[in-house]
Amino acid sequence: MVILSKGDHVWLEPETKGEFNVAIGGRVKFTQSGKIQVIDDDGKEVWLDGKTQIKHMHPTSVEGIEDMIGLGDLNEAGILRNLFTRYMENLIYTFTGSILVAVNPYQVLPIYTSEQIKLYSDRKIGELPPHVFAIADNSYYNMKRYRHDQCIIISGESGAGKTESTKLILQFLAAVSGHHSWIAQQILEANPIMEAFEMPRPLEMTILVDLKSRIVNQAHDERNYHIFYCMLAGLSADERKQLDLKDATHYYYLTQGGDINVEQRDGGKEFADIRSAMKVLTFSDAEKSGKYSKFCLFYFILEI
């Protein structure tokens, strides 16, 4: 039996069991002679009868915590509520040990300034509040300290913020490695290449599409991956001939969405940028030109 007083935080078990149903938090608003009223995290008033399963909430869940390893209620509900309460305060980053969880804020937050870069530079992970810069800093200094290549794995569903996070990490690395250095230039040149392989998003998050199916299926008004259009617009006539490629209108996978043009985008110019970025990033000439092995791959996809 749970004895509750006004102001207590509790977990309310979901009424029905299901894969996505987890307990949510609530706060006791009123108790009197066996009657208990709770306001849940969604702001809903719930009257508890004897049947509703409730549990006291651990203080770490009440206050929220920067590193979820320390959560007293270490379960799915605890993790989700922690992320939710932090998100409501615009705290989009949370650690779980050395893993950083980022919740997409869908707004520009003032947390990526050069002051923040300086602040996070050369710190131990966990010394400062969770931030994508803390991860970038950790990799950079581990690379310098141990002279070992480092790798940051960024995972999440479409629209979660993987590309934005990658750009922020690159921004951090470019800044700490010295503004005019060759490395900084290489880092920044990664952007056009990343953008070319970006998922086109004209309908901005209104549809969730399996990434693998994106190459062969597009909805109305959608384009395929940008690199296809760039490549076809930017290869010289000779190169196109060498690869036996035709223009974009010839390929069903590029035109099934309807329009192959995107306003204010010059595929030919972008392809030139991609090529020069590949040069700065020292993609070998054999890869970049000659047999165009990377581009040959796209060619085969188009010909499927």
Ligand X SMILES: Nc1ncnc2c1ncn2[C@@H]1O[C@H](COP(=O)(O)OP(=O)(O)OP(=O)(O)O)[C@@H](O)[C@H]1O
State which of positions 159-198 bind Mg ion (CB under 5 A): 162-163
- What is d(CA 26, CA 6) in angstroms, rounded to the nearest whole number? 11
**Listed residue (167, 203, 174, 38) closest to 114, CA to CA:** 174
Does residue 103 interact with ligand X by CB under 6 A? Answer: no
Does residue 300 interact with ligand X by CB under 6 A? Answer: no
- Report whether 162 belongs to an annotated binding site: yes
Which tokens is 63 given?
Answer: 């206050």
State which of positions 137-156 bind ligand X (CB under 6 A): 156
- Report whether 78 belongs to an annotated binding site: no
Q: Compute the least distance from the CB of residue 215 to Mg ion, in Å.
A: 15
- Report whether 160 belongs to an annotated binding site: yes
Indicate which of Mg ion, ligand X, none lies near residue 164 (CB less than 5 to 8 Å, by partner kind).
ligand X
Out of 64, 161, 234, 267, which residue is the one contacting ligand X (CB under 6 A)? 161
Residue closer to ligand X, measured from CB, 4 or 160: 160
Does residue 214 interact with ligand X by CB under 6 A? Answer: no
Binding residues vs Mg ion (CB under 5 A): 162-163
Binding residues vs ligand X (CB under 6 A): 104-106, 108-109, 156, 158-164, 198-199
Binding residues, as ranges, are: 156-163
